Amino acid sequence: MTATTERERYVVHLTVAADDLPAARLLARAIGRALAFLPELVLGETTVSEEGGSEAQHQVFCDRRLGGRRRCVRRVGHQGGCTS
């Protein structure tokens, strides 16, 4: 039996300002889709929060599992079926 060694994982935080929560989510979706070609990008973990250290984070993408390694990339609370 071999021991499994977990890799360290680092998260990149980019600060981009928006006037309100809907605008912040829209901007986050646009940035996420523009960078979706990067294999390191985890769209489903994209969140936005209020400036000033607020603990409340708001999810941007649905992220429902679709089978295999695919996940839904539509916005949170979308109508209709999920898509990858």
Rg (the chain; Cα; Å): 15
Q: Number of structural domains, the chain?
A: 1
- The CB density around residue 40, as the number of other CB atoms within 10 Å, is 6
Please report the pLDDT score of residue 3 as a whole number: 61
Nearest to 63 by CA among 46, 80, 49, 38: 46
| Residues spanned by the domain of 74 | 1-84
Residue-wise pLDDT tens digits, 30-83: 999 899 899 888 888 888 998 876 678 898 988 888 888 788 888 899 999 998
Cβ-contact 75, 66 below 8 angstroms: no
Residue with tokens 């977990």: 6
- Tokens found for residue 24: 């912040």
Please report the pLDDT score of residue 10 as a whole number: 87
Q: Which stretch, 11-15, 22-26, 39-43, 72-76, has highest mean pLDDT? A: 22-26
Averaged over 1-15, what is the pLDDT? 76
Please report the pLDDT score of residue 20 as a whole number: 93
> CA 63 to CA 19: how far, in whole Å?
25
